[in-house]
């Protein structure tokens, strides 16, 4: 379904075709071109929808926050002056050729990147809270601790595909 994680995109992949899957973190319509920041567990990738690809562009017009998408497109360097040094994939963007909405979403009760959430809101919407970057970092850290998982009980296929098995 995917060839790369969003956070793995780099200048080494320029001119290659990739398939990404993730949540629509942000959507920006700049009058003719639509930008979607696609988020998965490894980071963010900027996806560009151009009206020259009318089918993909029409679908991108319907995309809202937290929709789950599969996007196939060509990696290209970002135009000069638009590089984002804060992102691992900040040097490149994906020009979308195809997009599929795997799952639409109702508007979430809070922005996933909101920093000052009270604990009651976070606990009431725990599944959404786990998508937030601080929680993702905690899960990665916990997974790396040997006493929190057992390789002997996990399948090697799951390990090869980067599944994270956690004991709760």
Contact 3, 84 (CB under 8 A): no
How many structural domains compose the chain?
2
Residue with structure tokens 């991108």? 60
Q: Which of 77, 103, 129 is the last residue in one of the domains?
A: 103
Strand pairing of 68-77 and 92-103? antiparallel
Bigger pLDDT: 136 vs 158 = 136
Residue 5 has pLDDT above 80, yes or no: yes
One domain for residues 62 and 133 = no
Q: What is the pLDDT of residue 108?
A: 86
One domain for residues 48 and 85 = yes
Distance in angstroms (rounded) separating the CA atoms of residues 88 and 48: 17
Q: Which domain holds residue 131?
A: 109-149
pTM of the shown model: 0.81
Residue 131 lies in a domain: yes
| pLDDT tens string 44-91 | 999 999 999 999 999 999 999 999 999 999 999 999 999 999 888 999
Structure tokens at 4: 């790369």
% of the chain with per-residue pLDDT over 90: 57
Residue with structure tokens 């919407």? 125
Query: What average pLDDT does the structure give for the chain?
Result: 87
One domain for residues 21 and 77 = yes
Q: Which of 103, 130, 162 is the last residue in one of the domains?
A: 103
Which residue, among 149, 154, 108, has the nearest Cα to 131 in the 3D structure?
108
Residue 21 lies in a domain: yes
Close Cβ partners of 29 (under 8 Å, ≥ 6 residues apart)? 61
Region label for 81, one of left (φ > 0), alpha (ψ between -120 and 50) or beta (otherwise): left
Residue 165 lies in a domain: no
Residue 168 lies in a domain: no
Distance in angstroms (rounded) separating the CA atoms of residues 137 and 146: 16
One domain for residues 33 and 59 = yes
Q: What is the pLDDT of residue 115?
A: 81
Bigger pLDDT: 142 vs 105 = 105
One domain for residues 16 and 37 = yes
Region label for 145, one of left (φ > 0), alpha (ψ between -120 and 50) or beta (otherwise): beta
């Amino acid at each position: 379904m995917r060839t790369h994680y969003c956070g793995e995109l780099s200048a080494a992949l320029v001119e290659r075709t990739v398939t990404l899957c993730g949540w629509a973190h942000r959507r920006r319509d700049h009058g003719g071109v639509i930008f979607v920041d696609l988020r998965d567990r490894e980071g963010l990738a900027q996806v560009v929808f151009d009206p020259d690809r009318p089918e993909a562009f029409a679908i991108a017009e319907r995309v809202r926050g937290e929709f789950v998408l599969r996007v196939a497109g060509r990696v290209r360097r970002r135009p000069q002056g638009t590089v984002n040094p804060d992102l691992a994939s900040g040097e490149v963007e994906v020009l979308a050729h195809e997009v599929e909405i795997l799952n639409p979403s109702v508007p979430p009760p809070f922005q996933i990147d909101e920093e000052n959430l009270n604990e009651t809101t976070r606990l009431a919407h725990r599944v959404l809270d786990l998508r937030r970057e601080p929680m993702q970092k905690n899960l990665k850290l916990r997974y790396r601790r040997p006493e929190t998982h057992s390789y002997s009980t996990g399948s090697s296929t799951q390990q090869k595909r980067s599944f994270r098995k956690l004991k709760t």
